[in-house]
Amino acid sequence: MTISHHPTDETLMRYAAGTLAAGPAIVVGAHLAACPVCHARVRGFEALGGAILAQTEPTQLSPSALSDVLARIDAEEGIPQPPRREQKPAEIDGVRLPDSLRGCGIGRWRWIGPGMRMSRIGVPHDPDATVIMLRVGPGRALPDHGHVGTEFTYIVSGSFTDRFGRFLPGDLAEMDEDVEHQPVVDPGEECICIAALEGKMRFNSLIGRLIQPIVGL
């Protein structure tokens, strides 16, 4: 797995601190299981958070505290591998789904446009979370959209390209609210991805406006 698109450090810190909303945490969690680099950074942020909590009196952290912790972890353990799980992985039509979706309800596929299907993912501990799985045919454009709040997309299989580059399985696309982009699935293979929003999506295209009531935004 060649991973070239990662979450921002701010997102990884929020994941480590447990302040990232449940939906985005599932999508970022899928990336962490595939990306030893980000997995190690989250461990570092967790260690740093623990070190801060352990202080009896508030003191200023040295500017190099974070890099010191990361260097120590790398020196002690190398880059840690994601934990192996014994349970049988969840699959959909032969495609393995990320472990972070375990326990979530996966809705039936709905046709939302030519070559495009969507399934709503139910998050048990946050019923209001907006998480969807998209399945888009080769060469098809995903709905043109902007969003209010950050959008997180994890590529499960296949690939797509937008003006930020090519996104392959394991990659995470994190798009700020002022970004408008239109991913197009690469030729040859359909693309399955999971997406979560911290905020509401604004669809620009006709198909997007048709999706809106289904997604429930």
Residues at the interface with Zn ion (CB under 5 A):
6, 35, 38
List the beta bridge partners of residue 147.
Answer: 201
CB of 31 to Zn ion, least distance (A): 6
Nearer to Zn ion, 20 or 35 (CB): 35
Cβ nearer to Zn ion, comparing 35 with 191: 35
Minimum CB separation of residue 20 from Zn ion in Å reads 15
Least distance in angstroms from the C-beta of 77 to Zn ion = 17
Cβ-based nearer residue to Zn ion, 35 or 136: 35
Residue (of 98, 79, 76) closest to 37 by Cα position: 79
Least spacing, CB of residue 49 vs Zn ion, in Å: 19
Our CB check for Zn ion shows the closer of 119 and 157 to be 157
CB of 38 to Zn ion, least distance (A): 3
Nearer of residues 30 and 118 to Zn ion, judged by Cβ: 30
Gyration radius of the chain over CA positions: 18
